[in-house]
Homo-oligomer: A and B are copies of this chain.
Amino acid sequence: MERKIVVVGSIALDSIETPYGKVEEVLGGSAIHFSVAASFFVPVGIVGVIGDDFPPKYLKLLSQRQKIDLSGVKRAEGKTFRWRGYYKGDMNIAYTVETQLNVFENFIPEIPKEYYSSGCIFLANIDPELQYKVLSEVRSNNNNIWLTACDTMNFWIEHKLEKVKHIFSCVDIVIINEGEIRQIAEEANLLRAAKKTFVLCPGLKSVVVKRGEYGVVVFTRDSIFCLPGYLLEKVKDPTGAGDTFAGGFLGSLVQFGKINEKNLRRAAVYGSVLASFNVEDFGLRRLLRLSKDDIEKRYNEFKFLTHFC
């Protein structure tokens, strides 16, 4: 069983302000947060695009991480995707000041041959039609794929709902925000929204719902696992927490090598562990100085946080 993941998503330069400080043009984007988190468990190949202004220090930083493969990162003429935003108060809402799509606007993902043997693909939040194109391409070139997953966002739900539902029907797992699943299922009650999603998407094995500081819920067709969020005294920067969760979740699940109840639960904890570290500092700072020991220690803290007899 192939234990490598391909991730298709954005590579960004983020400018972020929170009550704890501000940073300018730090490395971010869904594919980056995902792959740094997942690379603690298995190798990851990124499919994405950068502009000709992309800082060499960030390329160096990524290429130094042995488990991250950059063969699928294309350099295009123009500027790199940029996002500027801020958080205030309870840090649950990102206020966007500016989004510059730049080279990301005409991004057509292409899977390099080096990635064909991968066992898993994660389609981060991009146009659902592109997600479908990539998935079809991977499936036709790769017989090793045993785990497929995707994310989406409110923009696509509002503008391309049928395409979102279609890609959801084609993957094993969707990893999605609580508000978004309610929007897709047109159902305020979370349990009913999840059940309706399984009906709408017959092929789907699991719906993983991210609830921000309140944790996650992992639904399968016959079980529910609820994990509360890790409580932190300082959430310095929530940017990328969702993609970091997805990276820790799929990274560990691919390392376990099989989709079953026990592994889905453990993967949700690893995803939450990674996400809880991610928000402790700006951008990738905390994850870049994280050790496997830190991860195992916090995994056990999650046990103490949640278990009773």
Interface residues of chain A, those whose CB is within 8 Å of chain B, are 89-91, 188-192, 195, 211, 213-215, 217, 223-229, 231-235, 262, 265-266, 268-269, 303-309
- Give A308's nearest chain B residue, CB to CB: B265
- Give the shortest distance, in Å, between A73 (CB) and chain B (any CB): 35
| CB pair B225 A231 closer than 8 Å | no
Bound state CA distance, A91 and B262, in angstroms? 32
Bound state CA distance, A228 and B188, in angstroms? 18
Residues A227 and B225 in contact in the complex (CB < 8 Å), given A262-B309, A266-B308, A307-B307: no
| CB pair B214 A214 closer than 8 Å | yes
Pull 18 A–B residue pairs with CB atoms less than 8 Å apart, ordered by A. Answer: A189-B232, A189-B233, A189-B234, A190-B231, A191-B231, A211-B214, A214-B214, A215-B228, A217-B228, A224-B231, A225-B305, A225-B308, A226-B228, A226-B229, A226-B231, A262-B309, A265-B308, A266-B309
Contacts of A231 in B (CB 8 A): 190-191, 217, 224, 226
| CB pair A191 B232 closer than 8 Å | yes
Contacts of A189 in B (CB 8 A): 90, 232-235
Bound state CA distance, A191 and B309, in angstroms? 24
| CB pair B305 A224 closer than 8 Å | yes
- Give A228's nearest chain B residue, CB to CB: B226
Bound state CA distance, A223 and B307, in angstroms? 12
- Give the shortest distance, in Å, between A79 (CB) and chain B (any CB): 36
- Give A195's nearest chain B residue, CB to CB: B233
10 closest A-B pairs by beta carbon, nearest first, are: A226-B228, A265-B308, A214-B214, A191-B231, A90-B188, A191-B233, A226-B305, A228-B228, A192-B233, A306-B306
Contacts of A232 in B (CB 8 A): 189, 191
- Give the shortest distance, in Å, between A121 (CB) and chain B (any CB): 25
- Give A212's nearest chain B residue, CB to CB: B214
Contacts of A224 in B (CB 8 A): 231, 305
